Amino acid sequence: MFIYNLEVEDIITGSEQFPEEMMASRNNLVNLLNEIYKLLVDYYNNAYELEFVTIARSMKSNNKPVVVWPQVNQFRHIRIGAEIFGLMNTPRYLKNSFILAKFVQENDSIEIYLGQVQYYFEHELKLGKEKKVIHKLAFIKWFIPAPHHQTRFYF
């Protein structure tokens, strides 16, 4: 969200398969905030070679875009392998809510960003009448990148 508000030109899309399990403490059909909903639609537009729109924009469109619904199933914990990761507001898993993400830039340099997981969620995307894809995502609050490694890892 922070990077989105700064209007950074880099488009970050990507996914990887990993053995995960969304754990209990689930809230079903939670409506996303409007700005997060728009971020999700932007993500799908960059990740797929299809046109995705919000419900409001689908009324104005003449062609047949894929409508992204704003409801998600929200989770407090995820298990990856033997390790359990939780949210920032659960003291037991607070240290596991911080992540480091490496992004390869167009010039092959690597930028490392520190972030904190706000929540995990599943979103069902309907790509046609028969095909449904369930995305398991994390909403992350990104911190400002440090200029070099000596200050980046100093707490």
Query: In angstroms, rounded to a whole number, what is the distance separating the alpha carbons of residues 32 and 72?
Result: 7
Say what the pTM is.
Answer: 0.69
Query: In angstroms, rounded to a whole number, what is the distance separating the alpha carbons of residues 137 and 63?
Result: 28
User: What pLDDT is recorded for position 72?
Assistant: 94
Q: In this predicted model, what pLDDT tens digit does every residue of 40-68 receive, in sequence order? A: 999 999 888 889 999 988 877 677 889 99
SS3 154: coil
Could you write out the DSSP letters of every residue in 34-93? Answer: HHHHHHHHHHHHHHSSS-EE-HHHHTT-SS-PEEPPSEEEEES-EEETTEEE--TT-GGG
Q: Which residue ranges of the chain lie beneath pLDDT 70?
A: 1-25, 61, 84-96, 145-155
User: What pLDDT is recorded for position 129?
Assistant: 82
